[in-house]
Amino acid sequence: MHAIAPPSSNNFNCFTGTGARPTLARVRRRFIQSVYRSDSVNFPNGVGLSRADWQSTCAILASKVVSQEQPTDKPDTGSGGTNHFPAVNGHKTAIDLDLVPIETADNSMSSSISSNNKPQPKPLTITDLSPAPMHGSQLRVAYQGVPGAYSEAAAGKAYPNCEAIPCDQFEVAFQAVELWIADRAVLPIENSLGGSIHRNYDLLLRHRLHIVGEVQLPVHHCLLALPGVRKEYLNRVISHPQALAQCELTLTKLGLNVAREAVDDTAGAAEFIAANNLRDTAAIASARAAGLYGLNILEDGIQDDSSNVTRFVMLAREPIIPRTDRPFKTSIVFAHGKGTSVLFKVLSAFAFRNISLTKIESRPHRNRPIRLVDDANVGTAKHFEYMFYVDFEASMAEVRAQNALAEVQEFTSFLRVLGSYPMDMTPWCPSGGD
């Protein structure tokens, strides 16, 4: 195979100052023609049949224009020249282009192909590190837990056909997005029965990710055990602490006088039972987790309240542009150090502009947990300083929201917008199963 020759120098007279000065269109036409006239590479599958072929072709053309070649260490084939493979980033691409491997005299394959005929790992490219994959490629979405977790289902609802990336901790999911390993993260923020997930509120302040959306997922709990295990054989039930709390009344009604043990996540409980062949232990998890880990469903829908729903937020490295053509929600966090009267003034900034607050959550200030009060008690009184997380129904593209935050900033020592994003308006009804 012959490498693609660079274009003739006659086509670049306009840059060297020699010859006539052609127009820009003529220069562009000559450049394109010179590349394709000298192209002697034959693509068996045709150029453009897949995104990978298209990317490899563009990279090869770009590399050959500047006369970059990567020779192999094979001997001559008898055609008078050394064998050459097109090189991209210094790596041979014979496999990517479905080219027939060259055989030597001893019928051994080219060194670019492994002995088991499997493609070698590709080096990372700028496409792998793009903030938003293009040309129809999948989004990489991080979630906390293992396959079968409710967070994985929320990631699939938020981004259908995404590539879900499991993480063992919430902190890891945040870092996966910050380090460009994932494009988004979908994490729970509150449950209709269990309340707020405080860990994620603290992580929202610690990291610099932006909320770009929300999704609400009905939670449908099942009691899972190994095949052949009956309820009367059980000695304990394991699951996430919130799942245990959400099923406490139902477990009592079932007559299960068993120990409750908390683990990191619901699907992880099912995986733990299957991996250790625990025949005296059941898990509270989803029906999908039962199918993934080979467990039987002893009881279906054991949540105490059928209206059990968890709200998840979608996180990204960059914020989205606020709009006014659909309902938006904005999340902020602020701090103040001048008593409860300031909190009243902050909330009044929204009330006077008819902006509805859907959530207010206070968390102790991690850097200043205790504050001395110098009053009649001569500084002996101590109390916590708090950060306040607020969600309100308005877009940052609206003037009333901008004015409200401008007023809030006058009364606070710290103010940060976590995100302005579309509200989840999906009609919801109690789930009857996965």
Predicted confidence band at 14 (pLDDT cuts at 50, 70, 90)? very low
Predicted confidence band at 364 (pLDDT cuts at 50, 70, 90)? confident
- Residue, of 262 and 73, whose pLDDT is higher: 262
**Does residue 126 fall inside a structural domain?**
yes
**Does residue 80 fall inside a structural domain?**
no
**Does residue 428 fall inside a structural domain?**
no
- Residue, of 287 and 32, whose pLDDT is higher: 287
386/327 same-domain check: yes
330/274 same-domain check: no
Mean pLDDT of 390-411: 95
348/369 same-domain check: yes
pLDDT tens for residues 323-358?
999 999 999 999 886 666 788 889 999 999 999 999
Given 234, 267, 300, the domain boundary residue is 300
252/345 same-domain check: no
Q: CA-CA distance, 283 to 289, in Å (whole number)?
A: 10
Q: In whole angstroms, how far apart are CA 353 and each of 222, 347, 381, 399?
A: 45, 10, 36, 10
**Does residue 78 fall inside a structural domain?**
no
Q: In what order do the strands lie in the sheet with 414-422?
A: 357-364, 386-392, 328-335, 414-422
Where would I find the beta strands (DSSP E) of 270-326? 281-285, 296-300, 309-316
pLDDT tens for residues 160-211?
989 999 998 999 999 999 999 999 999 999 988 888 999 999 999 999 999 9
260/330 same-domain check: no
Residues carrying an active site annotation: 310, 312
**Does residue 283 fall inside a structural domain?**
yes
CA 408 to chain centre: 32
Residue 91 has pLDDT above 60, yes or no: no
Range of the domain at 291: 222-300
357/376 same-domain check: yes
Mean pLDDT of all residues in the chain?
75
pLDDT at 381: 60
pTM: 0.66
Mean pLDDT of 104-110: 44
The total of structural domains in the chain comes to 3
Residue 379 has pLDDT above 90, yes or no: no
Residue 19 has pLDDT above 50, yes or no: no
136/256 same-domain check: no
Q: Which CATH number goes with the domain that contains 388?
A: 3.30.70.260
- Residue, of 143 and 376, whose pLDDT is higher: 143
58/106 same-domain check: no
Q: Which CATH number goes with the domain that contains 296?
A: 3.40.190.10
95/211 same-domain check: yes
**Does residue 349 fall inside a structural domain?**
yes
185/230 same-domain check: no
pLDDT at 120: 56
**Does residue 263 fall inside a structural domain?**
yes
226/208 same-domain check: no
Q: Which tokens is 412 given?
A: 């606070």
212/286 same-domain check: no
Non-local CB neighbours of 234 within 8 Å, separated by 6+ positions: 225, 256, 258, 280, 281, 282
